[in-house]
Amino acid sequence: MRHYLSSNIDAQIGWHSDFYRYSPMYEPLRPLLDAFSESEEWPDINDFQRVLDAWPEPIMTLGGQTLKIVKQDGKPHTFAETYAPRIYQTGELQTRQGNWHDFFQYLTWFIFPKSKAVINSIHIPRAKERIEGGGDQGRRSPIENMLSLFDEGGVVIASSDESLLQLVRDFSWKELFWARRAELEGKLKCITFGHAMYEKGLMPYVGMTANAILLPVDEGFFDKGLSPQLQQVDESLADILTKGELYTQPKDLQPFPILGMPGWSSDNADESYYDNTHYFRPGRSRQTDRSA
Q: Model confidence over 123-132: pLDDT tens digits? A: 998 878 877 7
Clarify whether residues 54 and 132 are in a common domain.
Answer: yes
What rounded mean pLDDT belongs to the chain?
92
Domain span at residue 245 reads: 148-275
Residue 133 has pLDDT above 80, yes or no: no
Q: Is residue 281 part of a domain?
A: no
Contact 130, 139 (CB under 8 A): yes
Domain total of the chain: 2
pLDDT of residue 135: 59
Clarify whether residues 165 and 220 are in a common domain.
Answer: yes
Clarify whether residues 260 and 169 are in a common domain.
Answer: yes
Q: Are strands 188-192 and 254-256 parallel, antiparallel or unpaired?
A: unpaired
Q: Is residue 1 part of a domain?
A: no
Clarify whether residues 90 and 199 are in a common domain.
Answer: no
Q: Is residue 159 part of a domain?
A: yes
State the DSSP code for 60.
B
State the DSSP code for 286.
-
The residue from 106, 138, 170 where one domain ends is 138
Clarify whether residues 233 and 129 are in a common domain.
Answer: no
Residues paired with residue 242 on neighbouring β-strands, in sequence order: none
Clarify whether residues 75 and 191 are in a common domain.
Answer: no
Clarify whether residues 21 and 66 are in a common domain.
Answer: yes
What is d(CA 10, CA 78) in angstroms, rounded to the nearest whole number? 30
Q: Is residue 178 part of a domain?
A: yes
Clarify whether residues 15 and 110 are in a common domain.
Answer: yes
Percent of the chain with pLDDT over 70: 92
Residue 224 has pLDDT above 90, yes or no: yes
The tens digit of pLDDT for each residue in 150-162 reads 999 999 999 999 9
Q: Name the helix (H) or strand (E) containing 69.
A: strand 68-71
Residue 42 has pLDDT above 90, yes or no: yes
What is the arithmetic mean of pLDDT over 32-48?
Answer: 94
Type of residue numbered 134: G
Clarify whether residues 130 and 208 are in a common domain.
Answer: no
Contact 71, 92 (CB under 8 A): no
What is the arithmetic mean of pLDDT over 191-202?
Answer: 97
What is d(CA 256, CA 123) in angstroms, rounded to the nearest whole number? 24
What is the arithmetic mean of pLDDT over 245-260?
Answer: 97
What is d(CA 103, CA 199) in angstroms, rounded to the nearest whole number? 9
Residue by residue, DSSP assigns 185-236 as HHHEEEEE--HHHHHHTTS--TT--EEEEEEE--GGGGGS-HHHHHHHHHHH
Residue 287 has pLDDT above 60, yes or no: no
The residue from 96, 117, 138 where one domain ends is 138
What is d(CA 27, CA 21) in angstroms, rounded to the nearest whole number? 9
pLDDT of residue 169: 97
Q: Which residues of 100-118 are buried (b: 16+ CB within 10 A; e: fewer)?
A: bbbbbbbbbbbbbbbbbbb
pLDDT of residue 284: 67
Residue 137 has pLDDT above 70, yes or no: no
Report H helices in the chain: 9-12, 45-54, 83-90, 100-111, 113-132, 142-153, 162-169, 173-174, 181-187, 195-200, 226-243
Residue 3 has pLDDT above 90, yes or no: no
Contact 212, 154 (CB under 8 A): yes
The residue from 80, 114, 138 where one domain ends is 138
What is the arithmetic mean of pLDDT over 170-195?
Answer: 98
pLDDT of residue 10: 80
pLDDT of residue 200: 95
The tens digit of pLDDT for each residue in 63-90 reads 999 999 999 988 888 888 889 999 999 9
Clarify whether residues 181 and 88 are in a common domain.
Answer: no
What is d(CA 63, CA 23) in angstroms, rounded to the nearest whole number? 35
pLDDT of residue 4: 40
Clarify whether residues 264 and 189 are in a common domain.
Answer: yes
